[in-house]
A and B are shown apart, each in its own frame.
Chain A
Amino acid sequence: MSAEAAPLTAAPSAAVAAILGRHRLRAVEALPWLCAGLGFFALPDYLALGSQILIMTLFAMSLDLVLGYAGIVTLGHAAFFGTGAYVAGILALHGWSEPISALAIAGAAAGLLGVATGLIVLRARGLALLMLTLVVAEMLQEAANKLGWLTGGTDGLQGITIAPLLGRFDFDLFGRTAYLYSLAVLLLAWWLVRRIVHSPFGHSLTGLRESAIRMRAIGAPVFRRRLRAYAVSAALAGIAGALLTQTTQFVGLQVLSFELSGTVLVMLVLGGIGRLYGAFIGAPLYMIAQDQLAKQDPVNWLFWIGLLLVLIVFFARGGILGLVDRILMAMGRRCA
């Protein structure tokens, strides 16, 4: 099915109507935002965790774009998150403390890096692709470690101060500003990603994931489409990283680590990949569970996460949203 061809048909058929209908906002899509808004009022002591959840959600959503939609399996997405984080941190330390413009610059820098590395790594497939994404991230981490004069090395960038948001709202100890700021950025990013995945470009990405050979056969520029998705995703990941810097006023080497690339992958898979909302389920669930369980018993926490991953692979491909789908389908069948 070529999504691009659809708008060309003169009279919209039933199939086209169905596709167009998919773009329309449904009531259920307001749920995450409702929860996030309620969280602000109901749990004023948890806003620091809350903003980190929002940031990881954004990061996981950016991963979904390459992994879930374009089918590029990457083990190094932290490269872009970390780049954004460091750019924002370095800007702030050198006097550019206005947050919103810094966020844009950080996103642009990460996006550019996405284009540059995408030109290289996206030519590979399979193991080589995995390795290249991994090696790019490791290289950046190593470089950040060595460029101590710029990045603070192992000690990280300390003493970052961010100017009040919009010139009015200070980043306070309780994290109120940080939370609302992260929420606003996430909302914008979600709107953008939603537009992308429902656009002809987004559908062609799905086509690429399913079969690059067929897409090539129908004349789609495979490499360029992949590269575009990679760059957009990198920019969003960079914005997430910059948000982390601005809300925590700190950057350390772990923003470029393999562990972070792995963790965000786990979050996304937990929620369900290729569904836009996987990130909104997986990231909060993972981080709340970690917050509540890991501090009691960090060792067993890792064990259960490991077991959960294995179980998902064997029994629940598609993550939690996949399970929900299956349950709804089963219920629908019974009703019908």
Chain B
Amino acid sequence: MVPATDTAMDAALSAAISIAFHGVAYGMVLYLISVGLSVTMGLMGFVNLAHGVFAMAGGYAAVTLMARAGLPFFPALALSVVIVAALGMMIERTLYRRLYDAGELDQVLFTIGLVFMAVAAAKFIWGPQPQPAPVPEYLRGQLVMGGRAFPAYRSFLILSGAVVVAGLWLGLGRTRFGAQIRATVDNRRMAQSIGINTSLLFTCSFALGSGLAALGGALGADILAIDPTYAQEHLVFFLIVVAVGGLGSIIGPLAAALLLGVTASACSYLAPQFGAFFIYAATLAILLWRPHGLFGRKGAGP
């Protein structure tokens, strides 16, 4: 009977590894996209339902740069992040800015309007079809680690996510810009009165958030396919990551995204009949338990 137990153990182990691997890869994509939303919502107290638009724009930019302009993977990625960050900065300066002091209803309506327009524009330019994920050939295929084969691209996704987390952690934890952001999240008026240029800070962090979303959109196109309805379809999950993680935090969204990714992957692996139900139920429970999210700062947010 020993072999039988071994097989059962093996099966359980390999199931656990599979769930964790795919969950973390999915979670990393969600994190990349949502962390910017968390920071900007925490900073400006702005209910932004259009954040997915920037992720979608990043995906389309990367696909177009690679397929039509023939750029290699990494330059295309970098360029799309820059383009979308600039786009974000522009929209922040011209439109978002005017609604910082408006009620949340106005913010909701404005950003839903943006989403509708982006959906229509994307379909007009790129057509209704989903875009093929911009994945270079050398990242396709399998990677063998410890006798198990893992999809190479998803391993790369996890690695990229980890690099961004480390970068943000150091960048926001150790720099003046980061300190200003944290100060402003905690108390905007106080930050202003001690001479922090919050207006500039808003623009910069909005550009950073849009750029990160673009990175997530482009890198994650293999998991969340780039098509015109992207910003609408995945909105709920981005919002869940932000709300559960807590506004204005770097680690909160990471925890929430990984939790969500692993739960989603476990659901599809173990109990596909329950689908996303668990995720919504867990979100409800967490928000009731901690209305400001797992790692939220009390003062942050709308």
Contact = CB atoms under 8 A, between A and B. Distances in A.
Interface of A: 67, 73, 75, 120, 123-128, 130-132, 134-136, 138-139, 142-143, 145-146, 258-259, 262, 265-266, 269, 273, 299-303, 305-310, 312-314, 317
Nearest to A262: B112
B108 interface: yes
Nearest to A136: B284
Contacts of B112: 262, 265-266, 306, 309
Given A130-B47, A262-B112, A306-B120, A135 B288 contact: no
Given A135-B283, A309-B116, A127 B301 contact: yes
15 contacts: A73-B105, A124-B288, A126-B302, A127-B247, A128-B291, A130-B47, A138-B276, A142-B277, A145-B275, A300-B124, A302-B120, A306-B115, A310-B114, A313-B109, A317-B106
Interface stretch (B64-72, B204-212, B236-244): B236-244
Contact of A310 (B117, B121, B235, B240): B117
Given A136-B284, A302-B120, A303-B121, A67 B105 contact: yes
Interface in B101-142: 102, 104-106, 108-110, 112-121, 123-124
B119 A302 contact: yes
Given A131-B240, A259-B232, A269-B109, 14 more contacts: A128-B292, A130-B108, A135-B280, A135-B284, A139-B277, A258-B235, A265-B108, A300-B120, A302-B119, A303-B120, A305-B116, A306-B119, A310-B113, A314-B98
Contacts of A67: 105
A130 B113 CA distance: 17
B99 interface: yes
A17 to B, nearest CB: 32
Contacts of A128: 243, 287, 291-292
Given A73-B108, A146-B273, A135 B287 contact: yes
B121 A127 contact: no
Nearest to B120: A303
Given A131-B287, A132-B284, A302 B47 contact: no
Contact of A309 (B110, B243, B288): B110
B266 interface: no
Contacts of B240: 131, 135
B41 interface: yes
Candidate in B99, B110, B119, B121 with the most chain A CB atoms within 10 angstroms:
B110
A258 B229 CA distance: 13
B116 A306 contact: yes
B115 A127 contact: no
Contact of A127 (B41, B99, B105, B116): B41
B169 interface: no
Interface of B: 41, 47, 95, 98-99, 102, 104-106, 108-110, 112-121, 123-124, 232, 235-236, 239-240, 242-243, 247, 273-277, 280-281, 283-284, 287-288, 291-292, 301-302
Contacts of A312: 109
Contact of B275 (A146, A310, A314): A146
Contacts of A138: 236, 276, 280
Contacts of B98: 314
Contacts of B302: 126-127
For the complex of A and B, list the 6 residue pairs with the smallest distance between their C-beta atoms, beginning with the closest: A306-B116, A309-B113, A303-B120, A306-B117, A139-B280, A310-B113
Contacts of B121: 303
Dominant secondary structure of chain B at its interface with chain A: helix
B110 A313 contact: yes
Contacts of A130: 47, 104, 108
Which among A125, A128, A146 has the greatest number of chain B C-beta atoms within 10 A?
Answer: A128
A313 B99 contact: yes
A132 B120 CA distance: 28
Contacts of B118: 306
A259 B117 CA distance: 15
A134 B236 contact: yes
Given A134-B236, A135-B280, A302 B273 contact: no
A307 to B, nearest CB: 6
Contacts of A126: 104, 301-302
B277 A143 contact: yes
A187 B280 CA distance: 37
Contacts of A266: 109, 112
Contact of A302 (B105, B106, B116): B116
A245 to B, nearest CB: 23
Contacts of B105: 67, 73, 269, 273
A205 B58 CA distance: 44
B236 A258 contact: yes
Contacts of A120: 284, 288
A300 B122 CA distance: 11
B123 A131 contact: no
A119 to B, nearest CB: 11
A299 B126 CA distance: 12
B124 A299 contact: yes
Contacts of A273: 105
B236 A309 contact: no
A293 to B, nearest CB: 13
A219 B115 CA distance: 42
B280 to A, nearest CB: 4
B275 A142 contact: yes
B260 to A, nearest CB: 12
Given A127-B243, A309-B110, A73 B283 contact: no
